Structures are given as C-alpha cells and as structure tokens.
C-alpha cells in the first residue's frame, strides 16, 4: 500500500485553495465591472433625461416663442431654427438635440438616434387678425371673437360727437371728458374675448370706432424633445 506523506497533502490543499481564490477574484472583478458599466449606463440615461426635461421646460416657457395667451406661437415655430433658439435658450449651446411639435421638427442638430426622448403636452396658438367697427349713430359696442392680449382702438368721432369713456369687459380703459380721439392700444385680459363699449355725448352721435386685435386659436398637441448626452 502506498501512503501519501503529510507534506504532499498540504501542497495539494494549498494548490486547491489558490485555484479557488483565483476563480473567486475573477468572479468578483467581473461583478464589479458589470455593476460599474450598469451604473455608468444609468447615470448617462439619467443625465439625458434631466437635460431633456430642462430643454422642454425652457422651450415651452421661452417668451420669444409664446403668445400673450400663454401658448406656443405656431407662426414663430415655423420660422425658428437652431441659431435662433441658441440665442434665447443657452442650455442648447453645444448640445445635440431634436425638438418636434405636433410631429414636425422645429429644430435639430446632430445625430440623436441613441438619445433619450421626452414627450409632453403643450398648447399651440395660431394667430389671426379680427376687426369690428362701432358706428356711433347706430350702436355703442363691438365684440372681438377670440382671446387676445391687446386691442387697438381707432377713435374717429364727428365734430358734434364726444366719446368720453371706453370700457372693455366692463373695465374703464380710456376716459376723457373733453373727448377721446385717435389711436390707442390697450392691454386686456386674455381670459375672455374683449367687449368694447363706448359712452358718447351728443344729440345725434356720429362717427366710428374701429376695434382691431390679434386673436389666437389654441389647440393642445405633443412636444417631443430628444437629447444625446454622449454626443
């Protein structure tokens, strides 16, 4: 019978332990690498998401793109570009991005096919000009159909007629006992269509008041902002 010496058995045990440590170390390093890569990926996605949210908020709130009724101006959106946006939105400088409103690309720079996209609802307003005339010999009021931020009044009474007061939605906007004449631009509330009413003196009032305003038809649509933080 052959008997192993104690020293031989010890060497065998040491060799087994060394091999086990090698496998354990390799598994640990591999796990660390995988976890690190996952963390980097999550951080990158988080950064893109954060930037997309910042761009979307800044874009929707940009005064150069919005109307007095608080919605994005459809006409301005059709005319804007990357250079124009960078001037008013510094967050876009050096960033690769794409902004879509209602499916139409408003501005785009670089390849953002691997980026993060954020979608949100926005209000978009289409402007149109409305005009009504008050004939002072037959009526004393006129209403503009639609929401607006200001009204232009061209007051043209005849010599025997005095326009003392002009109210818009029951609020006194112009008042002059000796008479109101000429062109006046009055800021109004955007919450309701403006109703213009004139208070006139004269036995047989004659003349006109022309009321003009840019009103906005508002609809809700979708804005998509895509940002590639790795570009």
In CATH, the number for domain 126-216 is 2.60.120
Supply the DSSP string of 177-203, one letter for each residue.
TT---EEEEEE--SSS--EEEEEEESS
Output the pTM of the full model.
0.68
Residue 26: pLDDT band with limits 50, 70, 90: very low
Tell me the C-alpha distance between 143 and 193, whole Å. Answer: 7
CB atoms within 10 A of CB 59: 26
Tell me the C-alpha distance between 118 and 48, whole Å. Answer: 10
- Residue 55 tokens read as 């761009």
| The pLDDT of residue 229 | 74
Query: Which pLDDT tens digit goes with each residue over 103-123?
Result: 999 999 999 988 899 999 999
Residue 66: pLDDT band with limits 50, 70, 90: very high
Query: Which pLDDT tens digit goes with each residue over 119-144?
Result: 999 999 999 999 999 999 988 899 99
| The pLDDT of residue 45 | 63
| The pLDDT of residue 183 | 98
Which own/partner contact pairs does 53-59 have at CB distance under 8 Å and 24+ positions apart?
Answer: 53/118, 54/91, 55/89, 55/91, 55/92, 55/95, 55/97, 55/99, 55/225, 55/227, 56/118, 56/120, 56/223, 56/225, 58/89, 58/91, 59/85, 59/89, 59/99, 59/223, 59/225
Which has more pLDDT, 158 or 13?
158
Check pLDDT > 90 for residue 25.
no
Percentage of the residues of the chain whose pLDDT score is greater than 90: 66
Query: Which pLDDT tens digit goes with each residue over 182-201?
Result: 999 999 999 999 999 999 98
Residue 16: pLDDT band with limits 50, 70, 90: low
Are residues 127 and 214 in contact, defined by beta-carbon separation less than 8 angstroms?
yes
SS3 assignment, position 137: coil
Check pLDDT > 80 for residue 87.
yes
């Amino acid at each position: 019978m052959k008997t192993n010496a104690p020293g031989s058995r010890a060497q065998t045990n040491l060799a087994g332990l060394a091999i086990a440590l090698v496998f354990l170390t390799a598994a640990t390093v591999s796990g660390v690498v995988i976890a690190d890569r996952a963390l980097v990926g999550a951080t990158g996605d988080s950064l893109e998401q954060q930037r997309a949210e910042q761009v979307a908020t800044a874009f929707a709130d940009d005064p150069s793109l919005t109307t007095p009724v608080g919605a994005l101006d459809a006409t301005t959106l059709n005319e804007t570009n990357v250079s124009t946006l960078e001037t008013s939105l510094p967050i876009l400088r050096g960033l690769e991005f794409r902004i879509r409103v209602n499916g139409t690309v408003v501005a785009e720079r670089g390849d953002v096919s691997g980026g993060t996209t954020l979608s949100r609802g926005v209000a978009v307003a289409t402007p149109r000009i409305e005009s009504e005339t008050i004939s002072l010999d037959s009526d004393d009021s006129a209403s503009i159909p639609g929401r607006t931020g200001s009204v232009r009044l061209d007051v043209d009474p005849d010599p025997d007629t005095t326009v003392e007061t002009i109210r818009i939605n029951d609020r006194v906007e112009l008042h002059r006992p000796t008479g109101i004449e000429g062109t006046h631009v009055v800021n109004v509330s955007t919450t309701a269509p403006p109703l213009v009413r004139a208070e006139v003196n004269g036995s047989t009032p004659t003349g006109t008041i022309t009321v003009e305003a840019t009103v906005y038809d508002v609809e809700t649509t979708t804005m998509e902002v895509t940002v590639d933080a790795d570009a």
